[in-house]
Amino acid sequence: MTDTAIYRNQPPGLWSLYSRVLLPKEKPSGGDIHIPELSARLIGVSTANDTLKRYQTVCGFRPKTTLPVTWPHILAFPLHLKLLTEKAFPLPLLGLVHLRNRITQHRPIGAGESVDIAVRLDGQEKTAKGLEFDLITEAWSAGRLVWEETSTNLFRQADKSDKQSGSKPPELPRYAETTEIIAPESIGRQYASVSGDRNPIHLHALTAKAFGFPRAIAHGMWSKARVLALLEQQSGWRQDAVSISCQFKKPLFLPGTAQLNWQAGKSGWDYQLLNASGSAPHLSGEIRWGS
């Protein structure tokens, strides 16, 4: 049976949820991990608040009467944190890896429009790298689904049967269009201030080193938003129903510089964010119009 928490107009407070992040998790009996059927709903929230303009600035979106396609993810973040810090959720929040993100916007959403947001856990799968699960988010307006997102996360588990082949990674595609993205050292803190996502690996070099990173790394969802903010400014971009997939790959260390490459085709656009030398990907994805 699904356990649903319901909030009206205002999401749960983030600081009270963060106080639960470090609470120990009980080890599952028999070694099996089961992701519970947890869900949460936020009813009647405005899509525009005091943070929207700052979010647009941090990510590089130009102000419009419609929302950045990634903004509902920010509105839903307190619900995400609510589910991932529940006592029934068996995995530690710190250390989860965001692997993939797919957003489908069925129509542009107006800034200030009132929506209902629903979030649930789903899609548990054991892979060679560990346990994957999905965090599903939906935004509804006047009873119609207008936006949805699937974020796939990984809990790393050693697989003794997995043998590394040592094969070379596949050759990167080359796209004709390119521009530079600069990620300053402070961008992790700037994004945290507008998103509420204060994972220590993004904030400072010292806190990132505690988790095995030499420097702080950019939020994956900042990187995706920054890419889309630039692509929106290109000729041929459509203000329409759209589906945008993204696979997160190598971290973007801060401060850092990256190359955004893309190409437009008949079915949509393909894009990738590469390191400064163009030899390794930070993320890649597809944009397809029509929902």
Residue 268 has pLDDT above 90, yes or no: yes
Q: How far apart are CA 206 and CA 216, in angstroms?
A: 8
**Collapsing DSSP states into helix, strand and coil, what is residue 190?**
helix
d(CA 282, CA 253): 10
- For 264, phi then psi, to 5°, come to -100, 135
3-state secondary structure 64-108: CCECCCCHHHHHHHHHHHHHHCCCCCCCCCCCCEEEEEEEEECCC
HSE-CB at 58 with a 13 A cutoff on CA atoms is 26
pLDDT of residue 1: 46
Averaged pLDDT for residues 118-125:
94
Q: How confident is the model at residue 158 (pLDDT cuts 50, 70, 90)?
A: confident
Are the C-beta atoms of 143 and 150 separated by less than 8 Å? Answer: no
177-289 has the same fold as 3-24+31-156: yes
d(CA 174, CA 60): 25
- C-alpha to C-alpha distance for 291 and 284, rounded to whole angstroms: 20
Q: Which residues contact 287 (CB under 8 A, 6 or more apart)?
A: 231, 242, 243, 244, 268, 269, 270, 271
**pLDDT > 90: percent of the chain:** 81
All structural domains of the chain with their residue ranges? 3-24+31-156, 177-289
Evaluated on CA atoms 153, 260, 63, 50, the torsion sign reads positive
Q: What is the pLDDT of residues 75-97, one digit of tens each?
A: 999 999 999 999 999 999 988 99
Cross-strand bridge partners of residue 110? 66
Q: Which amino acid appears at position 273 of this protein?
A: L
State the CB neighbour count (10 A cutoff) for residue 170: 6
Q: How far apart are CA 244 and CA 150, in angstroms?
A: 11
Q: Which fold has domain 177-289?
A: Thiol Ester Dehydrase; Chain A (3.10.129)
Query: Could you tell me which residues come within 8 angstroms of residue 229 by beta carbon, excluding any fewer than 6 positions away?
Result: 59, 60, 61, 62, 68
- Is the model's pTM score more than 0.75? yes
Does the pLDDT value for residue 36 go beyond 80? yes
- Confidence at 220, pLDDT banded by 50, 70, 90: very high
Domain 3-24+31-156 is of which CATH architecture?
Answer: Roll (3.10)
Whole-number Å distance between alpha carbons of 70 and 102? 10
| Statement: residue 7 has pLDDT above 50 | yes
Tokens 């402070």 sit on residue: 186
**Better pLDDT: 68 or 168:** 68
Q: Of 68, 82, 73, nearest to 117 (Cα)? A: 73
